[in-house]
Amino acid sequence: MAKTSQAAGLHRASLTKLHDLDAALELMYYGWRGMTLEADEYLAKQGLSRPHHRILYVVARRPDIAIGSLIEILGISKQALNRPLNLLLERKLLTSKRSPEQHRSKLLRLTAAGQRVEQRASDHERKVLREAFDRVGAPGAAAWMGVMEAIADAN
Amino acid sequence: MAKTSQAAGLHRASLTKLHDLDAALELMYYGWRGMTLEADEYLAKQGLSRPHHRILYVVARRPDIAIGSLIEILGISKQALNRPLNLLLERKLLTSKRSPEQHRSKLLRLTAAGQRVEQRASDHERKVLREAFDRVGAPGAAAWMGVMEAIADAN
DNA sequence: CGCCTCATGTCAACCATGTTGACTTCAGAG
DNA sequence: CTCTGAAGTCAACATGGTTGACATGAGGCG
């Protein structure tokens, strides 16, 4: 047992805090990991990963989205989108069809199977959030959202 | 201008919310991006990236750490650590030396230059957090920490 | 009809970050 | 001198990105 390999857990290392915000900084890191861990495990079991989930997530919330718009939202190149997208089409988690009038673009939509996978993966993430929110109550949750909005819009 | 390429910004896409926690879920995503964006840009200018920063961050808070411990904390394989670590040593941002009595392991330490880079990169991240905390006040910040701890320890 | 444009698709080369597995080297312990 | 533990190194591979170049398919229009 050379490798410690609690692997997934990766206990929040207790490092000396050089600055008062170091704890918050590390919490952001471990928070992201904590939220996505179970979802990633579920996705891996389906032979999928984070990029696939991101596609499913967006298409679920923008049915009939065109590929170009998807590229914009995901912020990756069309070549980078290509492989995961084709996998999802092959697996019939997504369908694409030309729109009736706007024939130039293809419209993406989730199949029932795709909805199921998207929902289960996202559920894992939402479950973590829900439990955390439950622990601190509605005011705490609202405060969290306020801080995260400020951080997200920092740029 | 085929590509929209607000690149770094990647405006928080306004997606239809299918669940009440979707907003929180997306905030975690964009929060992480928001916190790390400027730091990553700074690191890129130095020819470094996130893994290098993680090494520097840990070594800064655990001077004289052995390589094996660093591997454990970072949660990656020794081969994965190898390249970024060697780059940092070549660039003289880190030093390694055998310990006086425990000659088997090498101890890592930041050089003055290494400290500078670590500090500047982390400062970018702390700045984002500080501004967000300032906007919501101490109670909001405390609530945020509480939620993040619950999320981080979900596993 | 022929041509232009736009959205999409595809191919190739490349890079960074990670993985396993196998092997070497160095240094102290016995 | 041999064993062991920490570290270093080499090779093969997977994944998720990048650019650049080029092909295809469908309207728009002169």
Extents of the domains making up chain B: 22-144
| % of chain B exceeding 70 in pLDDT | 90
Please give the mean pLDDT across all residues of chain A. Answer: 90
How far, in Å, CA of A4 to CA of B151, rounded? 23
Residue B96 is predicted with a pLDDT of 92
How far, in Å, CA of B52 to CA of B83, rounded? 10
In the three-class reduction of DSSP (H, G, I as helix; E, B as strand; rest coil), residue B88 is classed as helix
**pLDDT tens digits, one per residue of B77-118:** 999 999 999 999 999 999 998 866 666 789 999 999 999 999
How far, in Å, CA of B47 to CA of B56, rounded? 14
The distance (Å) linking the CA of B57 with the C1' of D2 is 40
A31, closest residue in chain B (CA to CA): B152
The torsion angles phi and psi of A93, rounded to 5 degrees, stand at -95, -20
Reply yes or no on domain A22-152 having CATH 3.20.20.70: no
B154 contact residues in A (CB cutoff 8 A): 34-35, 37-38, 128, 131-132
Rg over CA atoms, chain B: 19
CATH class of B22-144: mainly alpha
Residue A98 is predicted with a pLDDT of 80
How far, in Å, CA of A83 to CA of B52, rounded? 29
